Chain A
């Protein structure tokens, strides 16, 4: 197995994959906290349509993907915040975009292979240019996130008061989704558009069950993401099974026990004593 590690494509896969894991580890924390899981899934699906359209037009898929996802994130963030209505609206946008995607691809010769590659990624196909582009975009996203850290946190947990304290809550909502759109584009190369979702929510959902402190949760999320990605790439290289399967399986496999156990832990949080002293009522003897 280790002989495969000497090939440059594996190095590229590791580099690009690590970047994706780090960016998604941080972004995913906010996705879970803000309850935007469905929106995240939708964005990656919409990215598919963008990539397909780009392929049809003969330009690199990443650009089409970026255009579509950023556009979609702008649309989604303007939707009402009432969950079920919003979910439907997100779903409509997503399914229509997907159907557009299949239309674009049907018009393109050899469409199935291209569809497959966009949807599920192919670690063999990552070039050095891809790595450099991903690195630049990824570092950009991380830099922006570090500046927006406190405001994003505040507006995620306490939007009413955050707005009163002068934070541009609506702008942050929109901008955050745009960042997710960019992250989805970066991840397409490595893991394919449909499965970037797994890296977005898996590590952070697990981390949140383990700790309540935002910084620690993000750090844990990033570590988990890196471990999943490296393990996934190694296993895929060794076994010839798809890398996306390994990453999603590991992610799910770690999440499940954590989720079930964490439920136990929470139930055992000590109940506060009702009063500092007890009052006996009926001792008038």
Chain B
């Protein structure tokens, strides 16, 4: 069975479409995730989505919808706790663990079938439906448009929140808005690679690109490219090699990251010790 034959099948077409949609999104969103140092928050949101997907399964509703609802609620919660979140990582970790527990609970109601759980955790791109594609396309379009509109203030607020706030940029709202967009992106990515591997699609391509260039647009373009190659390449490999799609996709993104690390290491001048500089840390107030 050649590739062309495969493509005649609905589920294969859907898989490629879904993969492309997510990949196009992840470059743009991932860039900001890395910039704002919100990689761990991204992880946590995917676990929130896990609870959403399992709740949806329990209620007999589309899992993508469940993921979106839950992640949006999660973002709302973060927005309420707002600026007081100084030690991001502990709060984020607690939410992550709790959501996992919730998801396990819902799963135990819905089915004793472990396969269902594993699918949610590790992705089931080969079972993406037409409805899913529709939802994903709409969400992607919304996200891209919103980010295009917010691009400059978000960039400013991400690099220099103190200055941006002084210039009248509403950094709190931007933070929340970005997290909403992140929630949408995470939900989509979960469809493709599952809860546990969202990081691979949303963060790794952008992090790799960031190692190679400093210009925002170039970084985003590069991240999108890496994401596309990994996702589509991963899909092709899974049809050829029959190992799980998420494994191939993640393996490809990881390879890109290691390559980027290598190139970056060869480029930057060697330093034996870090130069002492008093003002190293950038304060994040969001």
Contact = CB atoms under 8 A, between A and B. Distances in A.
Direct A–B contact in the complex, CB atoms closer than 8 angstroms: yes
Interface of A: 32, 35, 37-38, 40-41, 45, 83-84, 87-88, 91-92, 94-96, 98-100, 102-103, 105-107, 111-113, 115-116, 119-120, 194-195, 197-198, 201-202, 205, 241-242, 244-249, 251-252, 255-256, 259, 263
B96 interface: yes
B114 A112 contact: yes
Nearest to B123: A102
A252 B97 CA distance: 8
B254 interface: yes
Interface string B56-98: 0000000000000000000000000000100101111111111
B28 interface: no
Q: At the interface, is chain A mostly helix, strand, loop or mixed? A: helix
19 contacts: A37-B93, A92-B204, A92-B207, A92-B254, A95-B197, A95-B253, A98-B122, A98-B197, A99-B200, A99-B247, A106-B244, A112-B114, A116-B117, A202-B94, A244-B101, A245-B101, A248-B102, A251-B98, A252-B94
A201 B90 contact: yes
Interface stretch (B37-45, B132-140, B147-155, B221-229): B37-45
A83 to B, nearest CB: 7
B6 interface: no
A102 B244 contact: yes
A88 B196 contact: no
B251 interface: yes
Contact of A202 (B97, B115, B200, B249): B97
Nearest to A35: B89
Given A95-B196, A99-B251, A198-B100, 10 more contacts: A38-B39, A41-B40, A83-B37, A91-B39, A92-B207, A94-B199, A102-B247, A112-B113, A194-B100, A252-B94
Nearest to A267: B84
A129 B108 CA distance: 28
Given A95-B200, A96-B250, A249-B101, A201 B37 contact: no
Contact of B204 (A32, A95, A256): A95
Contacts of A249: 98, 101-102
A173 B131 CA distance: 49
A111 B98 CA distance: 25
B29 interface: no
B199 A102 contact: no
B94 A205 contact: yes
Contacts of B108: 241-242, 245
Nearest to A117: B114
A38 B243 contact: no
Contacts of A111: 118
A37 B88 CA distance: 10
A38 B89 contact: yes
A198 B108 CA distance: 19
Nearest to A197: B97
B196 A197 contact: no
A104 to B, nearest CB: 9
A102 B104 contact: no
A103 B37 contact: no
B96 to A, nearest CB: 7
A32 B90 contact: yes
